[in-house]
């Protein structure tokens, strides 16, 4: 019984650390004066989400993303929460499905997740604004999603290799 409790406590502690790290990346992106275009960001917090998905599990990746999105909404922009949640949900769904096939590297999974995230946000926008006029912007977001997904995936894969040697989760 004690081992189960210890494992649960350790898991919650790790999830808290991962959520804090993901939120820290979100905060850094919020502070950076880099304007990549309307709604286009690198998505550094997704390095943490991808790492957690691969090294800890789906439930933890969901929890970390939820905490990060809600905290960021409270502190930076509450109106962005529905967009972030819809993007994160579709992104995680796509990443989990691709990861299960064992045909894609973490970078490939990250690219697909980034594009899916953008698609989720465009769908959310179309629903909330009750128009499909925003759909054209998805094609711009595909390009940014491929680029950011590649960068995030490469960084996450590098971190995973480093952690494999030194840290047991």
- Determine phi and psi for 134, rounding to 5 degrees: -75, -15
| Higher pLDDT among residues 41 and 52, named by residue | 52
- Banded model confidence at residue 89, pLDDT cuts 50, 70, 90: very high
pLDDT tens column, 115-131? 999 999 999 999 999 99
- Banded model confidence at residue 85, pLDDT cuts 50, 70, 90: very high
Question: CA end-to-end span of the chain, whole Å?
Answer: 20
Whichever domain contains 62, its CATH number is: 1.10.1760.20
Let me know: does 50 contact 110? Beta carbons within 8 Å: yes
Report the SS3 class of residue 128. helix
User: Per the structure, how many domains does the chain have?
Assistant: 1
Q: By mean pLDDT, which of 73-82, 94-103, 145-154 is the weakest?
A: 73-82
- Banded model confidence at residue 3, pLDDT cuts 50, 70, 90: confident
Let me know: does 128 contact 103? Beta carbons within 8 Å: no
Q: Print the domain residue range for 50.
A: 2-166
Give this prediction's pTM.
0.89
Q: What pLDDT, on a 0 to 100 scale, did the predictor assign at position 35? A: 61
pLDDT tens column, 18-34? 999 999 999 998 888 66
């Amino acid at each position: 019984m004690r081992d189960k409790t210890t494992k649960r406590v350790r898991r919650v502690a790790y999830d808290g650390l991962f959520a804090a790290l993901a939120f820290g990346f979100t905060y850094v992106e919020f502070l950076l004066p880099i304007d990549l275009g309307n709604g286009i960001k690198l998505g550094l917090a997704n390095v943490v989400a991808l790492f957690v998905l691969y090294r800890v599990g789906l439930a933890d990746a969901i929890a970390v993303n939820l905490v990060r999105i809600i905290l960021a909404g409270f502190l930076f922009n509450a109106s962005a929460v529905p967009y972030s949640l819809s993007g994160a949900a579709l992104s995680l769904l796509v990443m989990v499905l691709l990861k299960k096939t064992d045909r894609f590297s973490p970078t490939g999974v990250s690219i697909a997740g980034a594009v899916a995230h953008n698609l989720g946000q465009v769908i959310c926008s179309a629903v909330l604004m009750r128009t499909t006029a925003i759909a054209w912007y998805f094609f711009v977001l595909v390009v940014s999603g491929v680029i950011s997904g590649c960068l995030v995936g490469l960084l996450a894969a590098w971190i995973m290799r480093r952690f494999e040697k030194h840290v047991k989760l």
